[in-house]
Amino acid sequence: MRGAGAIVAEDGIWHGGDLATARALFPEAPQPWVDLSTGINPIPYPLPPLPLSLWVRLPGADDEAALLAAARNAYRVPAHAGIVAAPGTQILIELLPHLAPSGPVAIFGPTYAEHGHAWRKAGFAVSEAAMPEQAATVVVVNPNNPDGRVLLREELASLATQCGARGGLLVVDEAFADFTPEASVLPDLPPDTVVLRSFGKTYGLAGLRLGFAIGAPDPMAKLKAALGPWSVAGPALRVGAQALADIGWLVRAGEERARDAARLDALLAAHGRIVGGTSLFRLLETSAAAALFARLGRHGIYVRRFQNAPDRLRFGLPGDASGWVRLQAALAGDASEVSPSA
């Protein structure tokens, strides 16, 4: 079985979200798939009207400025910090190692595997197991994916000080911090720190490709130069600016997804131990993970497995009543409720 339940990207890393792999793994599964393999909000921010000018013209400096102003406000970026928009956080993860000081890199793992991969590709010595004393650069995903672990601001500030003293950098990936703003280091951004923020997960628009890096002005100017002009599409500039300015939507979505996450916990309780998560995904630990993954797959429900943690499954949130019903039925093992004719 290719990838055994997660797509294998060209870099060999498993990811959720590609239903082509789900279909290949479970060709007999009822359609449509209920895709719980990502941590993307299943209730997207409503797309605003997109005038044709956003598609036909090169993205304008004024549109980019509007996006960055909205992002500064939403993320509470200090005025002295720089901010760069990119077509998704992934490309920032790829570029950061090429602009970073040399020295060993420690990644607070297990976590999103693309961080370690990018630093290794760039020739850095990377440790993911522990947090060695001698690391110059430290990478923390906060809250962490997949276990939701949160480091306190004070811990992060202390890490930043240590990295700075060694001539390095603290990288904080806050892809899942939007619904828990109290977890963000941005309002009191420490020196020698780069923060990554992702637009697509919270706003349920992962196909749009929009992410941000925030840090000291000089490294941010270097990131911007590495991306070159017009890296973010016109429609993404507009949707991002409007959504990030809509704090009311963010608060309501956060409350609703927290309720969904509690509902998911209740469904999963009989199947193992919830060992963490955020309000966009929950991490289940069970010695029967492989069997449960296969049972869900046969019911057309795709969840996330992990290469190095075969006893864990990550569940995203169903996005509609049908998804909840099918998940409940599949967990109960009642195939009659999920047949295509039901």
Q: Of 70, 58, 79, 42, nearest to 233 (Cα)?
A: 58
Q: Choose between 87 and 103: whose C-beta lies nearer to a second copy.
A: 87
Q: Minimum Å distance from CB 339 to a second copy?
A: 24
> How many degrees, rounded to 5, is the angle at CA 283 between CA 281 and CA 289?
130
Candidate ranges 72-80, 103-111, 203-211, 279-287; the one touching a second copy (CB under 8 A): 203-211
Candidate ranges 15-23, 175-183, 322-330, 333-341; the one touching a second copy (CB under 8 A): 15-23
The side-by-side arrangement of strands in the sheet containing 126-127 is: 82-86, 211-215, 193-198, 170-173, 137-141, 105-107, 126-127
Residue 274: strand, helix, or coil: strand
Q: Two tokens at 51?
A: 């005038």
3 binds a second copy (CB under 8 A): no
Binding mask 30-69 for a second copy (x = CB under 8 A): -----x--x-x---x--x----xxxxxxxxxxx-------
Q: Choose between 190 and 199: whose C-beta lies nearer to a second copy.
A: 199
Q: Minimum Å distance from CB 61 to a second copy?
A: 6
Size of the site for a second copy (CB under 8 A): 56
Q: DSSP character for 125?
A: -
Q: DSSP character for 177?
A: -
Q: Provide the CB-side half-sphere exposure for 123 (13 A, CA).
A: 6
Contacts of 122 (CB under 8 A, 6+ apart): 97, 98
128 binds a second copy (CB under 8 A): no
236 binds a second copy (CB under 8 A): yes
Q: Minimum Å distance from CB 220 to a second copy?
A: 11
Concatenated DSSP letters for 34-102?
EE-SS---SSPPPPPP--HHHHHSPPPHHHHHHHHHHHHHHHT--TTSEEEEESSHHHHHHHHHHHS--
215 binds a second copy (CB under 8 A): no
Q: Minimum Å distance from CB 119 to a second copy?
A: 13
224 binds a second copy (CB under 8 A): yes
Crossing angle for the helix pair 234-244 and 61-75, to the nearest 10 degrees: 30
Q: Minimum Å distance from CB 91 to a second copy?
A: 6
Using a 10 angstrom Cβ sphere, with 0-12 exposed, 13-18 middle and 19 or more buried, the burial of residue 320 is exposed
Q: Minimum Å distance from CB 305 to a second copy?
A: 17
Q: Choose between 46 and 187: whose C-beta lies nearer to a second copy.
A: 46
Q: Minimum Å distance from CB 44 to a second copy?
A: 5
Cβ-contact 223, 84 below 8 angstroms: yes
216 binds a second copy (CB under 8 A): no
232 binds a second copy (CB under 8 A): yes
If one counts every other C-beta atom within 10 angstroms of the C-beta of residue 32, the result is 12
Q: Choose between 230 and 324: whose C-beta lies nearer to a second copy.
A: 230
91 binds a second copy (CB under 8 A): yes
Q: Two tokens at 193?
A: 């720190």
Q: Tell me which residues touch a second copy (CB under 8 A).
A: 7, 9-11, 15, 17-20, 35, 38, 40, 44, 47, 52-62, 87-88, 90-91, 93-94, 98, 114, 118, 121, 200, 204-209, 221, 224-236
